[in-house]
């Protein structure tokens, strides 16, 4: 303890002594250096304690590293004033000859059942350190920001304490090899992942998007949120695509026939060569729809055209090449002749011209 004393003359023969204690370091104290420390003569030691497997660094006034050690171990340096750095947090320290300076840091650990990393930011949103979920990080006492997949949460590090934070887990099961996307309330993407693979977040209200269909989710600390998707599979024998549309007529996604697509459950429209099928997506299921195949056979080098009942062209192809359509009644036009044709799901209908 260091005292500063001032003599104040009150009377010619009387004086008082006023003593004030220098401010204490709230996280550091001083102990005699153990004989077994191995510290070189004329130097002192410093030890920073915290429940983490990190290193601390001792810097001089110019920012040059003087020494470093693992947390809960000690480093040596000549007597003087220094700055201790721990995962980019800092604290002024004093090293005294033949004395061990012991400082208490704190730590934070974000827990969640995924193989992801979390980040710690300072007050200016700059990254200080990152680690895998479930593994702690040490800092000098103060206020910081956790960030997990772009969701934030403030926290405080206190001396000799562990701040234990639980993330929430989001999983979007699906049977296709596709991705889901997680957005915040402004539509900004927070993260994305393959279907059926989980993501960790700090508590937040979010929106999940799968092939441009969406559903809201509320992620809470320590909870598991599951949003099941359903799939559509459109069968066909041709090398063509099917297209999926929403209620507003906007295209959501497309794929080759025999290739499945995942969506949030709901009612949609599938188009194959501009002919529509009403389809339903149900969570946890794959709903299958079968097209019919049409082929117009001819020895002429011409194109044939397929029309709906109103005479609107749906698609065209060269003769002897097949096209897929939903089951139903159509018209086929070749040159100046038009014939009616009825197509049956899962069957090939050949029109000989």
Task: Tell me what the pLDDT averaged over the chain comes to.
Answer: 94
pLDDT at residue 2 tops 70: no
Task: Provide, rounded to the nearest whole percent, the portion of the chain with pLDDT above 70.
Answer: 93
Tokens of 67: 């020494």
Tokens of 205: 């209200």
- In this predicted model, what pLDDT tens digit does every residue of 140-187 receive, in sequence order? 999 999 999 999 999 999 999 999 999 999 999 999 999 999 999 999
DSSP 8-state class, residue 166:
E
* Distance of alpha carbon 158 from alpha carbon 51, whole angstroms: 12
Which one is predicted more confidently, 2 or 69?
69
* Distance of alpha carbon 53 from alpha carbon 214, whole angstroms: 41
* pLDDT at site 163: 98
pLDDT at residue 300 tops 60: yes
pLDDT at residue 6 tops 90: no
CB count within 10 Å of CB 80 equals 15
* Distance of alpha carbon 347 from alpha carbon 342, whole angstroms: 11
CATH superfamily of 292-352: Carboxypeptidase-like, regulatory domain (2.60.40.1120)
pLDDT band of 21, cuts 50, 70, 90: very low
Distance from CA of residue 116 to its chain's centroid?
Answer: 8
pLDDT at residue 22 tops 90: no
* Distance of alpha carbon 263 from alpha carbon 228, whole angstroms: 9
- In this predicted model, what pLDDT tens digit does every residue of 102-125 receive, in sequence order? 999 999 999 999 999 999 999 999
* pLDDT at site 251: 98
Question: Residue 310 to residues 141, 291, 295, 307, 330: CA-CA distances in angstroms?
Answer: 76, 21, 21, 8, 9
Question: Residue 39 class from Cβ within 10 Å (0-12 exposed, 13-18 middle, 19+ buried)?
Answer: buried
Distance from the first to the final alpha carbon of the chain = 108
* pLDDT at site 15: 38
Question: Residue 212 class from Cβ within 10 Å (0-12 exposed, 13-18 middle, 19+ buried)?
Answer: middle
Closest CA to 165 of 146, 140, 184, 190: 146
Cα dihedral angle (300, 305, 311, 315), rounded to 10 degrees? 180
pLDDT at residue 18 tops 60: no
Which one is predicted more confidently, 36 or 12?
36
pLDDT band of 11, cuts 50, 70, 90: very low
What residue ranges in 176-260 does DSSP mark as E strands?
A: 179-183, 189-194, 199-201, 204-210, 213-219, 224-226, 230-235, 241-245, 251-256
Q: Are 255 and 200 in contact (CB under 8 A)?
A: no
pLDDT at residue 3 tops 50: no
pLDDT band of 37, cuts 50, 70, 90: confident
pLDDT at residue 16 tops 80: no
Contacts of 284 (CB under 8 A, 6+ apart): 173, 228, 230
pLDDT at residue 53 tops 60: yes
pLDDT at residue 13 tops 80: no
Q: What angle do CA 174, 177, 183 make, to 5 degrees?
A: 65
Q: What is the DSSP string of 180-193?
A: EEEE-TTS-EEEEE
* pLDDT at site 19: 39
* pLDDT at site 266: 98
CATH of 28-102, one of 3.90.1170.50, 3.40.50.880, 3.40.50.980, 2.60.40.10: 2.60.40.10
Q: Is 35 strand, coil or helix?
A: helix
* Distance of alpha carbon 337 from alpha carbon 347, whole angstroms: 24
Quick one: average pLDDT of 82-110? 98
* Distance of alpha carbon 150 from alpha carbon 161, whole angstroms: 26
* pLDDT at site 217: 98
Tokens of 295: 């082929």
- In this predicted model, what pLDDT tens digit does every residue of 195-218 receive, in sequence order? 999 999 999 999 999 999 999 999
Tokens of 312: 């609107």
* pLDDT at site 36: 85
* pLDDT at site 14: 35
pLDDT at residue 8 tops 50: no
DSSP 8-state class, residue 224:
E
């Amino acid at each position: 303890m260091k005292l500063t004393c001032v003599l104040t003359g009150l009377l010619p023969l009387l004086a008082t002594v006023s003593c004030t204690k220098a401010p204490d370091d709230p996280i550091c104290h001083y102990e005699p250096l153990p004989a077994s420390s191995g510290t070189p003569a004329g130097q002192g030691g410093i030890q920073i304690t915290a429940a983490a497997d990190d290193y601390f660094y001792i810097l001089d006034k110019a920012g040059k590293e003087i020494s470093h050690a693992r947390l809960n171990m000690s480093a040596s340096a000549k007597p003087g004033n220094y700055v201790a750095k721990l995962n980019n947090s800092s604290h002024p320290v004093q090293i005294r000859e033949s004395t061990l300076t012991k400082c208490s840091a704190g730590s934070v650990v974000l827990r969640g059942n995924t193989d992801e990393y979390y980040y710690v930011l300072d007050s200016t949103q700059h990254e200080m350190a990152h680690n895998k979920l479930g593994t702690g990080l040490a800092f000098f006492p103060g206020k910081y920001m956790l960030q997990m997949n772009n969701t934030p949460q403030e926290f405080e590090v206190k001396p000799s304490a562990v701040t234990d934070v639980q993330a929430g887990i989001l999983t979007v099961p699906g049977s296709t090899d596709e991705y889901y996307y997680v957005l915040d309330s402004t539509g900004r993407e927070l993260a994305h992942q393959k279907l059926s693979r989980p993501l960790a977040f700090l508590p937040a209200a979010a929106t999940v998007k799968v092939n441009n269909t969406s559903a809201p989710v509320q992620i809470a600390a320590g909870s598991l949120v599951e949003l099941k998707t359903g799939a559509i599979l459109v069968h066909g024998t041709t090398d063509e695509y099917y297209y999926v549309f929403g209620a507003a007529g906007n295209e959501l996604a497309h794929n080759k026939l025999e290739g499945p697509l995942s969506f949030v459950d709901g009612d949609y429209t599938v188009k194959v060569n501009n002919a529509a099928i009403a389809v339903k997506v149900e969570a946890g299921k794959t709903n299958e729809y079968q097209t019919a195949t049409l082929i117009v056979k001819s020895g002429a080098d011409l194109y044939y055209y397929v029309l709906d009942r109103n005479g609107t062209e749906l698609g065209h192809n060269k003769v002897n090449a097949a096209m897929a359509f939903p089951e139903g009644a159509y018209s086929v036009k070749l040159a100046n002749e038009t014939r009616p044709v009825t197509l049956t799901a899962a069957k090939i209908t050949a029109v000989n011209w």
